[in-house]
Structure 1
Amino acid sequence: MRLGRSITFLATIAIATVSALVMVGATIVTIVVVMAMDEDNSSIGATSAVQTLKEAIARDAQGRLMVEPNGKLAALARNYPSFWYVVSDDRTTLLSGEVPGQNSQETPVRQSRIKYAQFEFLSDEKRLVGVAVSEETRAGQVLIEAGGLPLSMLENTLIVLSNNGPLLVLYGLILLATIASAVLVMPRLIARPVRQAAAEAEAIDGVPGGRRLADAGTPAELKPLVGAFNRALERIDAAAASQRNFLSNAAHELRTPLTKLRMKLEGVPDETIRASLVADVQHLSATVTTLLHLARLSGQPLAFAPVDLVALCRAAVAEVAPTALDRDIDIDFRADDPVVVVRGAEAAIRAAVTNLIENALRHAKATPSIVVEVTAPGRIRVIDSGCGIAVETRDVVLRPFIRGGHDDTEGAGLGLAIVAQVMSMHGGSVTIDETPGGGATFTLTFPA
């Protein structure tokens, strides 16, 4: 199956993509909305700067408080001229930048023992936000104050995202769970009704008025396809019924004139000519009778019931035994079990077995004997030791009017076609193998 043409694959990819976009978009929009609720969001940048300062605070060899220069602090000072910070402990205060209130009495929180504070100040007539946080650093407990970072909305968003790793991991897990659910659940939701319809289509037996795809419970997306398929079956049924009616009517119409012709031929004085003509008429009559059987088998559904294959085959052998004896052919019946029961149409199975035996009598003229064998759970073999059937023709001899390469004029090539049709109606199979030592073995296998 090509994934690019799979409905479930495309639906899964679409749902997973949309879910990812919605979750990421919702996260960003939420952050932006929260930040937009403040008139100024410079506290985000100040809080980020505090974390940068925390990593840089240490003590020198004399134990004095110091801020180790690093690239992040240098970048903040370079990109934001208004950036400032104050780092202090009980003995030392370190300042950088234009600290608000350092030359007045407006020092907001310095020297106080606080955990967290946020304050506003003016820088170039613009109101900004600073923060003061008491942090445990490599130099011990230190009060860190920072501010003067008027970040853009995008910068604030990126900082919030980078500072919320666990939240992003949670979002990632939720996204993966959503994608996994789409991958595991969506194919089943979409493919289940399609597979159910396919299973129903496989069960359609092809007989007139047979099964159709169920419309009840079918998803709305499949209803047009189910309706079109059922209407197509109805059209096929109508065309097949017309052909069967023509075949049946033609066969019926031919039987009466053939019977009259047979009676008139009895008056032909030349015995040789009379025998030849009578044989031809009998051949035509047999063909007409076979056509009638074929039309009846394909024209109506079979009524299935338990059928004993042992009793059926024993009766079929008894029926053709006189013909076999007339042709100096022994016919033997074998069964390992006294009863072998399958579900089927007894008349149809009887016709199939009879056709196989008559086919052996007609074409396997060199065979000294014919064996009809029944084995459990539902298998019938008709074995002859005649000239056999060539491997290359075994696939076609079950078709109508195919005689398997025999040049004799007996038969119309319909007997094996009837056998194949009967087995198809029963859900079984017909196989042709070579008999050990030469000949043909036909095996009818019925479903358990």
Structure 2
Amino acid sequence: MRKPRPRSLQWVLVRRLIILQAVMLVVFLGLITLVFFVAQPRLVVDNEAAALVVGEALGRDAAGQLVLRDTEELTNFRKSFPNMWFVARDEKGGVLKQGNVPAVYASGGDGLLKSVDRAALTFAQLDLRPAASYANLETSAGRVGVLASTMSSREENTGVEANIDLQIDLARNPDGTTNWVRVGPILVILTIIMLLPIIIVMGVTTLVTTPAVVRRSLAGLVATAREAGNIDIDNRAVQLPTERVPQEVAPLVQAFNRALARLGEGYDKRNRFLTDAAHELRTPIAILRTRAELLREDPESRRLQKDIERLSHLAQQLLDRQVLDHAAGPREVVDLVELARTLAADFAPLALEAGYDLSFEPAGRPVLVDIRSQQVERAVANLLRNAIEHGGGSGTITVLVDGEGGLEIHDEGPGIPLEERERVFEPFYRLRPRSSGAGLGLNLAREIARLHGGRIDILNGRWNGTHIRLQLPLAETPAKKIRSGPAARTS
């Protein structure tokens, strides 16, 4: 089953905002449509177009009477509006009528203004007479026709004059009711035409602006998540800030901080327990070593002393492992060549006694590294001891230092299989269960390398045995006090 991908809060907000805007527009348009139906407005755009088409087709015959020419515009207009009618009257009283003219309009407009409720009076563009409004109003004095305007001449208009008169007339049945069969589809199309551009514009605007707004709003959360990604075992006591975190997410961050605190406290308790246990083991181990030395010299006593030594080494490694968690203190610039030379000399008797030859291959110049000497000495000592224990008991163990801050230890033993090269660095993992090692040496060496910003790798090659490389950071400047050897000898 495919694992579902996590949802993006940013795009969830964008989609929901677009849907919300679209729904609001539809509701708003529905309310406007309802108001239009209640107010019964009329759309006079077609009527105005009819008047203009008729006006362009009017002319006079030889007798000077009004006639209507069959122009192309008039023919096309009649195809679209077959019920068109008109009454034309000139200044001399001449009248031209065509179509089914309602009785109220048959006189050409005489007395018509007395029967209408409202009318707008406008003039040609070059005519300076101002637009006016006429209304028949029911007043305390009876029905009165009022003609009014806000200016005496269009010259008084110093800005932009806009007159908007929107009327809508719907198709009706013979009884005067609205013919929804014909009107409904047209209203749906008009609604889509009106809404679609608005939805597109608002949607594009939302897609452009909302991600930026969301990113800005979540910037504090992103910064907090970045800080959380930097938390590891060495700085587990860090608490994530909540000042810039959104209020809705702050409880989650606070719970995470409390979880970190509990984990850190438990980790410290475990470390204290291991440290105390290792310290407590040293006393009985010392007593056992003293008693073993008093025994008669025979193979059994030598094996017992070897087991006691192994137990002592394990207790020391446990102590060293816990000390790493409190690895503070200043670093110093050390010549890695001299440090490796001294450690090789210290381990030479152990290597010879175990049946190996020991070779030292230094770089051709001093290699200055910025380290904590005692920790690195412990790491190199563990690598050397590991080579002596698992190198097969024959051949040559080589200690090599290069000019890049690398220290390599080679043996000619059975080597480590490729599939086991990561697991051997796990604590208490032993490649061979019957091995005399405790499984902490390589883990301790890797932790020391990591604390110094370096690393340990098992190298690949066609050689026999195991080649392990410890990479340490080179010193940026030789201004610090340079140590030429280990701070404490390890044997």
Normalising by structure 2, report the TM-score.
Answer: 0.67
Q: CA deviation at 1:217?
A: 2.6
Question: Partner of 2:446 in structure 1?
Answer: 420
- The 1-side partners of 2:329 and 2:450 are apart by 14
Mapping of 1:276-291 within 5 angstroms? Answer: 276-291=303-318
CA deviation profile, 1:85-122 (whole Å, cap 9, x unmatched): 5689999956444454223624679xx9746998889x
Q: CA deviation at 1:399?
A: 1.0
2:224–2:240: 8 Å Cα contact kept in structure 1?
yes
Question: Partner of 1:41 in structure 2?
Answer: 41
CA deviation profile, 1:340-394 (whole Å, cap 9, x unmatched): 445x544333322221222112211334132333443x54433333221011211
Residue type matched to 1:102 in 2?
A
Q: CA deviation at 1:51?
A: 4.8
Say which SS state the counterpart of residue 434 (structure 1) adopts: coil
- The 1-side partners of 2:54 and 2:135 are apart by 25
CA deviation profile, 1:214-256 (whole Å, cap 9, x unmatched): 2333322222122111111221122222221221111111111
2:278–2:316: 8 Å Cα contact kept in structure 1?
yes
1:199 to 2:226 alignment? yes
2:360 is aligned, of 325, 329, 332, to 332
Mapping of 1:183-222 within 5 angstroms? Answer: 184-186=211-213, 188-189=215-216, 192-207=219-234, 210-222=237-249
Distance of aligned partners of 1:380 and 1:215 in 2 relative to their CA distance in 1, 3 Å threshold: farther
- The 1-side partners of 2:290 and 2:257 are apart by 50
Mapping of 1:386-405 within 5 angstroms? Answer: 386-405=413-432
Structure 2: runs of 5+ lacking an equivalent: 59-67, 114-118, 126-130, 137-165, 172-177, 475-491
- The 2-side partners of 1:89 and 1:304 are apart by 110
2:221–2:246: 8 Å Cα contact kept in structure 1?
no
Distance of aligned partners of 1:196 and 1:48 in 2 relative to their CA distance in 1, 3 Å threshold: farther
Q: CA deviation at 1:401?
A: 1.5
Question: Partner of 2:411 in structure 1?
Answer: 384
Greater strand percent: which structure? 1
2:276 is aligned, of 249, 259, 277, to 249
3-12 vs 265-274, greater mean Cα deviation? 3-12
CA deviation profile, 1:140-198 (whole Å, cap 9, x unmatched): xxxxxx9993578x979x88x9699899757743441222222x325523654443223
1:149 is aligned, of 158, 169, 188, to 169
Question: Partner of 2:464 in structure 1?
Answer: 438
Residue type matched to 1:237 in 2?
G
Question: Partner of 1:351 in structure 2?
Answer: 378
CA deviation profile, 1:288-322 (whole Å, cap 9, x unmatched): 11111112223x25446465472554554444344
- The 1-side partners of 2:334 and 2:47 are apart by 93
Structure 1: runs of 5+ lacking an equivalent: 78-82, 122-145
Mapping of 1:289-368 within 5 angstroms? Answer: 289-298=316-325, 300-303=326-329, 305=331, 307-308=333-334, 310=336, 312-327=339-354, 328-335=356-363, 338-342=366-370, 345-364=372-391, 365-368=393-396
Identity, % of aligned pairs? 24
Q: CA deviation at 1:286?
A: 0.7
Say which SS state the counterpart of residue 370 (structure 1) adopts: strand
Question: Partner of 1:130 in structure 2?
Answer: none
Question: Partner of 1:177 in structure 2?
Answer: 205
Say which SS state the counterpart of residue 264 (structure 1) adopts: helix
2:76 is aligned, of 64, 68, 74, to 68
Question: Partner of 1:138 in structure 2?
Answer: none
- The 1-side partners of 2:399 and 2:279 are apart by 35
CA deviation profile, 1:22-44 (whole Å, cap 9, x unmatched): 45655x389669969x96521xx
1:431–1:442: 8 Å Cα contact kept in structure 2?
yes
Question: Partner of 1:127 in structure 2?
Answer: none
Question: Partner of 1:10 in structure 2?
Answer: 12
Distance of aligned partners of 1:301 and 1:265 in 2 relative to their CA distance in 1, 3 Å threshold: closer
Q: CA deviation at 1:439?
A: 1.7
Residue type matched to 2:416 in 1?
I
Aligned residues between the structures: 403
Distance of aligned partners of 1:9 and 1:321 in 2 relative to their CA distance in 1, 3 Å threshold: farther
Mapping of 1:155-166 within 5 angstroms? Answer: none
